A and B are shown apart, each in its own frame.
Chain A
Amino acid sequence: MKLFIKLTLLVMCFYLQACVTTKEVPLSSVSDSFSKKDPKLTIFKFNQLLEKALNEQDTEFLKQQLNIKAINKKIHLKHPYLLNTQNKAYKLSNTLATNYLSALMGVSNLFTWQYLFSTTDIDGDYIAHYRLNSDEGYNYLDIYLTHDDFKIVDQHSLSFEYSAIDFVYQISELMLNTARDKELQHEVKSLKELFSAIKKGDFDTFQSIYKELDSSLKKELVIGEFLLRMMGKLPAIQAQLFWPEVVKFYEKINKDSLSFEGHYFEKKNYMKAIKSIFTLPEHALQDSKMQSELALLYAYEKSFERSYAAATNAIIAEPYNTEAFIVLLQVSFISKNYAISLDVIDVLNAKFNFKMTEEEIKTLEEASGFLTSEVYATWLSNQVSS
């Protein structure tokens, strides 16, 4: 059993993040010393520095904030019985530290980091909430920071159910419980081989093992998490093979993830796309981008009251974000509420000095109805005369 745990943990540590990694950072360069923070450095000021470091891929700054003892302490706080020796705990913490750095750099390659705000967890540590921005879309990632000196001790991409430490724990629990169960003991080998197949992108092997797996194990969320996390690591062709299985897996166990929002959107299954967004915790759900996303999805569903509610929330959450106003404008076109359309255009003009030309308006869906409306015509003539 100890061997299983060891192997499991080593294997698991490589799959903590879904993003494509950059080069591995050598273990020796990760800091092992504690240092007290500047007492005047508030959590906000620290995150201003962290956001800058992440966007500039300042690995030296990040290394300063990675501390093996702090990670070890966090593991112990969250899951006191995860590892039974100091040596194993140290090794895991070391591996996690290395992986955190790689993962953060990986994200920085694809996204721009934007700090939202921080809350505290049950242990009194900070959870710094970040939004990840890109032209293709948005995601959210929480970084766990120690209360006293802001050391990075855990990470949680909100597309997944578990944080990095919790994911390691869940895998370990799955293997342990399977090994302890007399009727499932024989499946331990299968699970190992399953994970190995996924890691290698060997779809056929994965399929054949999964098919024969005990039915109780087929519903284990952590297997789905493992699959989902691998999607970002596998080459595109292999990922494409696995993807339908991932979707099917989650649908079978009646679970959702933000990762599926785009998938359901493309299939025009807007309610499922909305449900994917609602898997987010409250702070991310109430973020301006997600509310804008909901506004559009509800508009496509013709649920205009909810659409306007979400669009309003998006504006209130970030009143200086022009995108939120554009989304509201889009919703007004779809719902043919042109009075609101004009109000939005007024705000874009007055608040942001953003004068929407006819060409720009035409880029939005169902704009033609607005452009040919009497309301617009009257407004336009008033603009001309003034």
Chain B
Amino acid sequence: MLRFKDSWNFIMLGLVCLLATGLAQGQINSIKPKVHIVQTPDWIVPQDVDLLNVKGLRAPSHYYLIDSQVKTTESQQAYTRYVFSLTDPSAIASQSNIRIRFSPAYQTLNIHEIKVIRDNRNIYTLKSKDIQVINVENQQKQNIYSGDVEALILLDNIREGDVVDYSFTIIGKNPILGDKFSWFASLASNIAVDLIHVNVDMPIDRVLQFEIKGVEAEIIKDSTSDRRRYQISQFNTPAVVEEDSLPDWYDPYPSIQFSEYESWEQVSNWANDLFDVKGDFSEDLQQFITELKALEVDEAINKAIHFSQDKVRYLGLEFGLNSHKPHAPNDVFDKRYGDCKDKTLLLVTLLKQIGVKAYPALVSSTSKGHVSDYLPTHAVFDHVIVQIEYKNKVYWIDPTITHQSDYLESKFQPNYGEALLLNHQAGGITLFKDRVGSESEISITENLIAPDYFSAVQWKIKTVAKGNKADNLRYRIKVHGKQKLVNQYLNYYAKVYPDIEQLDGMIFEDDKVNNVITLFESYLLPEFWALNKNNQAEFTLFADNSNQYVVLPHMIKRKQPLYVYGPISSKHKVTLQLPEHVNFNVEDLSSKHEDEYIYFSSTLSYDNRKLTVENIYRSKNDTVHVSDVPQHISLLKKISNKMSYSNGISNVTQDPGYKSMKNLMTTLKTYQSAKIIKQGL
């Protein structure tokens, strides 16, 4: 499938909560889309495509041309043309349908022509009736409604060898984005292309910055009396192979960015007005503010955050004029729904009313700490959170996260790396640093207690989750219910121990002051020991929680960086208490593995009937540089071999009492619940 990045895609990225609208709340997509068939405009720089003399056509499709041209006038015109031939039947199925996406609230679609060329002859003429316009709400499940539509043209009678040539212009851009031009275009694709052409046509008196990434390329400028063009042509671009496990911020596709913004301050100046609150508060909102003011400041902050996070449901209505402008706090408070910018403005407003410094902070959920790698632009941001300055500390609160701890100090603060603060003296990009409560940690302690080598083994597990891990667990329990979690865990363990029995109900302790969740589980494992033909009782201890963080990528030989899961700290300790002292030689089996990106230690120890495996994993960086990948992968392979420890105890059937002991332990099974003993104290 063709992948092509442009500014449109940037705006529509991921959460895309910045595109919520207030034009017609409750009326999804009430604007009639405008689609016309018109001639190619004069300003287009035509690109010749030689269909006859190309040798060695690629399969399943051969792309001759991808042409992207933009003209800024009173309304933006974005022209696109694709020319490709379908050289394999598999391409016919996926590429015979033309889909052009646009937003009818402020855009018009002009289709210039669609040609199907067979034996050097165009066999297709586009008619209006061929164009169907359909809604596309592919983010409904995330409660995001864009109002976008697709013009769909289903080409008939397409055969292997046909060449499809179609072009269109989308006129108009979201007025909320202001006058400054900002645009991205890819200079390569996931398929090879004979020619990628980019053209930006600007008034001559407007200064435009540009930056090319990922490829050596030259921009050609030419001017007339009133306009300047910036063109770039890339011939015979190879297909970009997008390797797996890439860091979110990394873009493997060479690209060019254009921006009229000269600084990040200009970007924040544009956004500042959007987040200005005008007018009086509604009676209900004022009442709420009064209640907050009556509390101690600490308590008021916590209550304001809790309200914006958990009492205002997330709903992104992303169509119309208000795509970047948040709804007024009155509306959000009244309707009890909003997207990230709505919740942010509400929270900032509440905090300011109680005398706490708070600012909207534009962030990017994908680029994160690499926002400043780009030229200043509004297009890189897809999310907004709140920065709070309180008692000489800085906090970063995301009002779209629910089920966090109750206190500011212990709330997990996601690391978006870089932010653009609004209505703040900072001006430029601000770094996330010294974040309180930014660590995520999981610590699992297991105790296996064996009365002998035949009876069921008691298995007690204590899991302590902090930070983001605590938030996730809290969410799962509140939303799905504890019983579902219990069943999930039980069935997960049953993959290794099919006969597992639950001893006590799962105990769930939520310390919302420190944002720590502790889970207590206890089970019986009737088949923990495996008796082999040599009368050895074999066992395996699994200390493998960190296994999920050290997964090898599919592509080992890489030219692109590798993602490191994190930040996370994981500790997994498993202790087997044997019925008697056994001589284990464990000194040489402990090891440490570390590089610039991760730390891992595996310790095996023995202490008076207790055999313990402990694995500790810590992420140190989020990206492995390409040059370090081979060594890092070797490290991951070594680590993956340390997730469990197996051994066996010899001559266990020489214990003459093992059968009667097993019989007794079976009788006493119902008394192994820990709950029983402390009752009544």
Interface residues of A, Cβ cutoff 8 Å to B: 40, 42-44, 47, 115-118, 271, 274-275, 278, 294, 298, 303, 305-306, 308-313, 315-317, 319-320, 339-340, 343-344, 346-347, 349-353
Contacts and interface: CB of A to CB of B under 8 A. Distances in A.
B660 A319 contact: no
A306 B671 CA distance: 8
A294 B656 CA distance: 29
Interface string B626-668: 0000000000000000000000000000011111110110011
B21 interface: no
A117 B664 contact: no
Contacts of B452: 319
B279 interface: no
Interface residues of B, number: 34
Contacts of B451: 315-316, 319
B676 A309 contact: yes
Given A319-B451, A350-B660, A343 B608 contact: no
Contacts of B664: 340, 343-344, 346-347
Contacts of A316: 449, 451, 458, 672
A351 B660 contact: yes
B677 interface: yes
Contacts of B661: 319, 347, 350-351
Contacts of B656: 350-351, 353
8 contacts: A42-B605, A306-B680, A311-B671, A315-B451, A316-B449, A316-B451, A320-B580, A350-B657
Contact of A117 (B580, B587, B610, B678): B610
A310 B673 CA distance: 10
B609 interface: yes
A313 B657 contact: no
Interface in B598-628: 605-610
Given A40-B587, A316-B451, A319-B451, A346 B663 contact: yes
B660 A346 contact: yes
A340 B668 CA distance: 9
Given A312-B668, A351-B658, 8 more contacts: A42-B607, A43-B607, A309-B676, A316-B451, A317-B449, A343-B664, A347-B660, A349-B657
A306 B607 contact: no
A47 B608 contact: yes
A44 B681 CA distance: 35
Contact of B672 (A309, A319, A349): A309
Contacts of A274: 681
Contacts of B553: none
A150 B493 CA distance: 39
Contact of B607 (A118, A309, A353): A118
Contacts of B587: 40, 42
A278 B679 CA distance: 12
Nearest to B458: A316
Query: Interface on chain A toward B: helix, strand, loop, or mixed SS?
Result: helix
Contact of B673 (A298, A309, A339, A353): A309
A42 B458 contact: no
A191 B59 CA distance: 95
Contacts of B609: 117
B607 A117 contact: yes
Contacts of A317: 449
A348 to B, nearest CB: 9
A308 B670 CA distance: 9
**Residue of B579, B608, B609 with highest tally of chain A CB at under 10 A:** B608
Given A350-B657, A352-B657, A294 B608 contact: no
A271 to B, nearest CB: 8
**Residue of B587, B661, B674 with highest tally of chain A CB at under 10 A:** B661
Contact of B677 (A118, A310, A315): A310
**Residue of A117, A312, A320 with highest tally of chain B CB at under 10 A:** A312
A310 B674 CA distance: 9
A306 B676 CA distance: 6
B455 to A, nearest CB: 9
Contacts of B655: 351
A303 B681 CA distance: 12
Given A43-B607, A319-B452, A312 B660 contact: no
Given A47-B608, A343-B664, A344-B664, A303 B680 contact: yes
A274 to B, nearest CB: 7
Given A117-B607, A312-B672, A306 B677 contact: yes
Nearest to B580: A320
Contacts of A298: 677
A208 B676 CA distance: 46
A320 B673 contact: no
A347 B451 CA distance: 13
A309 B580 contact: no
Nearest to A340: B667
A334 to B, nearest CB: 15
B606 A44 contact: yes
A197 B606 CA distance: 48
Contact of A309 (B663, B667, B671, B681): B671
B241 to A, nearest CB: 48
B586 to A, nearest CB: 8
- The 8 A-B pairs of least Cβ separation, nearest first, read A351-B657, A350-B657, A309-B676, A319-B579, A308-B671, A346-B660, A44-B607, A309-B671
